[in-house]
């Protein structure tokens, strides 16, 4: 479906979404308001979902929106509300590690960019790849990856029980 003539549009779309995501991510880690951070995170996650669509991963994109934006974000907002008396800007969200954190992040980023640039230089993604269907994904999950799926089910079960045990009042 993806023809070479629409690649420009895709690239433009990627750039716009990527810029929004980076800005959103930066706001998440810099804003002074917890609720704002959560809302900026929504922007990043939605952008990620859009990128998944660009990467021909529809099912994952839908899952991303439903699970992350639908469920996880609600959890975050609840968590914020249950742990803060008021919603608004606060001064005390960062600790004194900024002086360590920035160099580490920059160093890590530089390293990764160098490595990526060196490793994949200008390798192109296939332009005519078919969209991965839900059926293919489910065949994978319930075929060769069944055992991890089971393990994951137990992880979720344990997490659910653990969350209840931790959070209940007694």
Partner 1 sequence: MFSSATEATEVILKSGWFLEHAYIIPLIPAVAFALIIFFGKKMPLKGSEFGILSMFGALAMSAGAAYQWIQRVNGAPEEAFIKPVIKTWTWWQNDGVSLGIGQHIDGLSITILVVVAFISSLVQIYSTEYLRGDRRYTHFFASLTLFSAGMLNMVVAENMIQLILGWELMGLCSFMLIGHWWEEGANSRAALKAFFTTRTGDIGLLVGTSVLFFSANEWTQKTLGVSGFSIRGLSAWALSGNPGHAAITVGAVALFIAAIGKSGQFPLHTWLPDAMAGPTPVSSLLHSSTMVVAGVFLVARLYPVFFEGMNILGTSLNFIVLIGGITIVIAAALAFVQTDIKKVLAYSTVSQLGYMMMGLGAGAWLPAVFHIFTHAFFKACLFLGAGSISHSASHHSFDMKKDMGGLRKFMPITFSTWIVSTLALCGVFPFSGFFSKDEIIDNVGHNGYTFFMIIGLSGAFLTAAYMTRATYLTFFGEPRGAAAGEHHDDEHGHDAHAAHDDHGHDDHGHDSHDAHASHDSHDDHGSHGPRESGLIITVPLIILATLAIGSGFLNAAPFGHSWENFKKWVEPRAEVVAVTDVAHTTGGAGEVRIASGGTTDTTVPTPEEVAAHSSETPVDGEVATEDTVAHGEEPTAVHDTKSAEAGAEGEAHHESPCGSETPEGGVCYAPQLHHAPFKWSKAGLSMIIVFAGMLLSWLLCVQLYDRKNKKLVGLTKRNKLLGAGYSFLENKYYLDTLYEKIIVRSIAHPIARGAYWFNQNVLDGIVNGAGICTKTVAGWVYRNVDQKLVDGAVNGAGTTAENAGGALQPVQSGKVNQYGALLFGAAAIGALVLVIINF
Partner 2 sequence: MLLNQFLMLGAVLFCIGVYGVIVRKNAVLVLMSIELILNSVNINLLAFSLRNNSVDGHTFALYVIAVAAAEVGVGLAMVLLMYRNRRSVGLDELSEMKG
Please report, as ranges, the residues that interact with partner 1 according to CB under 8 A: 95, 97, 100-101, 104-105, 107-108, 111-112, 114-115, 118
Instruction: Map tokens 């600790």 to a residue.
Output: 95
Tell me which of partner 1, partner 2, none is bound by residue 54, counting a contact when its beta carbon lies within the kind-specific cut-off of 5 to 8 angstroms. partner 2
C-alpha to C-alpha distances, 167 to 22, 127, 154, nearest whole angstrom: 34, 49, 20
Q: Which of residues 119 and 144 has its CB atom nearest to partner 1 in the complex?
A: 119
89 binds partner 2 (CB under 8 A): no
Tell me which of partner 1, partner 2, none is bound by residue 33, counting a contact when its beta carbon lies within the kind-specific cut-off of 5 to 8 angstroms. none
> How many CB atoms are closer than 10 A to CB 52?
18
Q: Which of residues 90 and 139 has its CB atom nearest to partner 1 in the complex?
A: 90
**Stated length of the chain:** 170
* Tokens at 102, concatenated: 């920035």
**Size of site (CB under 8 A) for partner 2:** 87
Least separation in angstroms between residue 144's CB and partner 2 is 8
Q: Which residues of 123-152 are buried (b: 16+ CB within 10 A; e: fewer)?
A: eeeeeeeeeeeeeebeeeeeeeeeeeeeee
Tell me which of partner 2, partner 1, none is bound by residue 167, counting a contact when its beta carbon lies within the kind-specific cut-off of 5 to 8 angstroms. partner 2
Q: Which of residues 104-163 bind partner 2 (CB under 8 A)?
A: 104-106, 108-109, 112-113, 116-117, 120-127, 129, 132, 136-137, 139-141, 145, 148-149, 152, 155-156, 158-160, 162-163
The separation between the first and the last C-alpha atoms of the chain, rounded to the nearest angstrom, is 58
């Amino acid at each position: 479906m993806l023809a070479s003539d629409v690649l420009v549009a895709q690239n433009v779309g990627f750039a716009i979404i990527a810029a929004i995501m980076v800005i959103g991510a930066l706001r998440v880690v810099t804003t002074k308001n917890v609720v704002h951070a959560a809302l900026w995170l929504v922007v990043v996650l939605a952008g990620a979902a859009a990128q998944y669509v660009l990467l021909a991963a529809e099912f994952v994109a839908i899952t991303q929106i439903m699970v992350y934006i639908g469920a996880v974000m609600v959890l975050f907002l609840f968590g914020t509300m249950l742990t803060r008396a008021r919603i608004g800007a606060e001064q005390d969200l960062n600790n004194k590690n900024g002086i360590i954190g920035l160099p580490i992040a920059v160093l890590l980023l530089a390293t990764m960019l160098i490595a990526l640039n060196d490793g994949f230089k200008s390798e192109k993604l296939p332009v005519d790849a078919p969209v991965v269907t839900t059926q293919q994904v489910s065949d994978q999950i319930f075929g060769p990856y069944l055992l991890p799926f089971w393990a994951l089910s137990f992880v979720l079960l344990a997490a659910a029980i653990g969350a209840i045990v931790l959070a209940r009042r007694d």
